[in-house]
């Protein structure tokens, strides 16, 4: 006589004892924030990063994940104007349901020495069209700089002297408007930097980008990104 299988034995127990049903061999996929349009997307970059990130012009030797966050070597190259040759431009898609109303935040740290060396949080359509806010050095002074670029035509929106090398940056998109903010890590209040309109005609969907460029060859200077968060408004 053939012995009943484990599945058959369990099915009989369910019928006799009224046990809750169990589907053997199937597991529920853990919920990801992309499955829920109300749940924030977060990334600490502490030893790992979300699969949705992708590198543009990747230099694998120029980035690493550490216990303090994502470290990226600030190399030569530029994204402001026509050059469009910066390495290790990091991109993350914006969920379609959020593209007209979203709040994006990240903490960045850098130690710039060369003029125009910078680290940015960017609302990105292409290498030629974007809005950036970040830390940038000019004549030895570190500033919060916000700028807009469309078809490689650039416009500086604001330059605010900033006395530290670590900052929290924030981009808020509402309809056709984008606002930039910053604050010192640990402080409760955001400080407005500037406001601009989004590009009128773009064929690409927006992405969030982290950009590190205008460094020196073999400088050994690394910027750090941590505490990334993107959420619907």
pLDDT digits (tens, 9 = 90+) for 74-94: 999 999 999 999 999 999 999
pLDDT in tens, 92-147: 999 999 999 999 999 999 998 999 999 999 999 999 999 999 999 998 899 999 99
- Under a CB-based contact definition with an 8 Å cutoff, are residues 84 and 78 in contact? yes
Residue 17 has pLDDT above 60, yes or no: no
Per the document, the length of the chain is 233
Integer Cα distance of 133 and 180 in angstroms = 7
Integer Cα distance of 185 and 65 in angstroms = 21
For residues 36-51, average pLDDT: 92
In terms of CATH architecture, what is 40-232? Sandwich (2.60)
Residue 27 has pLDDT above 80, yes or no: no
Q: Residue 2 has which token pair?
A: 């053939």
Provide the pLDDT confidence category of residue 32 given band limits of 50, 70 and 90.
very low
Closest by CA to 65, choosing from 42, 46, 88, 92, is 46
Residue 228 has pLDDT above 80, yes or no: yes
Cα angle value 192/33/130 (rounded, 5°) = 40
- Under a CB-based contact definition with an 8 Å cutoff, are residues 216 and 114 in contact? yes
For residues 198-227, average pLDDT: 94
- Under a CB-based contact definition with an 8 Å cutoff, are residues 176 and 197 in contact? yes
* Phi/psi of residue 97, nearest 5 degrees: -70, -15
pLDDT value of position 33: 47
- Under a CB-based contact definition with an 8 Å cutoff, are residues 90 and 55 in contact? yes
Sign of torsion over alpha carbons 117, 54, 108, 218: negative
Residue 165 has pLDDT above 60, yes or no: yes
Question: What's the mean pLDDT when you consider all of the chain?
Answer: 88
What does each C-alpha distance from 147 to 54, 82, 97, 166 come to in angstroms?
23, 15, 25, 19
Q: Residue 155 has which token pair?
A: 């416009």
- Under a CB-based contact definition with an 8 Å cutoff, are residues 144 and 193 in contact? yes
pTM of the model: 0.84
Integer Cα distance of 21 and 2 in angstroms = 25
Please state the domain extents for the chain: 40-232
């Amino acid at each position: 006589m053939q012995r009943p299988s484990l599945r058959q034995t369990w099915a009989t127990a369910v019928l006799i004892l009224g046990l809750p049903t169990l589907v053997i061999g199937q597991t529920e996929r853990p919920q990801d924030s992309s499955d829920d349009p109300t749940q924030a997307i977060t990334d600490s970059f502490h030893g790992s990063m979300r699969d949705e990130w992708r590198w543009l012009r990747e230099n694998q030797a120029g980035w690493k994940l550490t216990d303090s966050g994502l470290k990226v070597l600030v190399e030569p190259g530029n994204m402001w104007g026509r050059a469009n040759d910066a390495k290790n431009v990091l991109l993350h898609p914006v969920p379609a349901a959020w593209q007209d109303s979203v709040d994006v935040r990240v903490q960045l740290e850098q130690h710039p020495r060369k003029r125009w060396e910078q680290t940015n949080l960017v609302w990105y359509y292409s290498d030629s069209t974007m809005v950036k806010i970040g830390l940038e050095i000019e004549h030895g002074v570190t500033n919060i700089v916000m700028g807009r670029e469309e078809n490689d035509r650039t416009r500086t929106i604001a330059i605010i002297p900033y006395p530290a090398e670590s900052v929290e940056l924030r981009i808020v998109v509402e309809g056709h408007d984008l606002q930039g903010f910053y604050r010192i890590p640990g402080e409760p209040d955001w400080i407005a930097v500037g406001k601009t309109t989004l590009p009128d005609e773009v064929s690409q969907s927006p992405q969030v980008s982290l950009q590190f460029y205008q460094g020196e060859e073999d400088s050994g200077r690394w910027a750090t990104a941590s505490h990334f968060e993107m959420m619907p408004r």
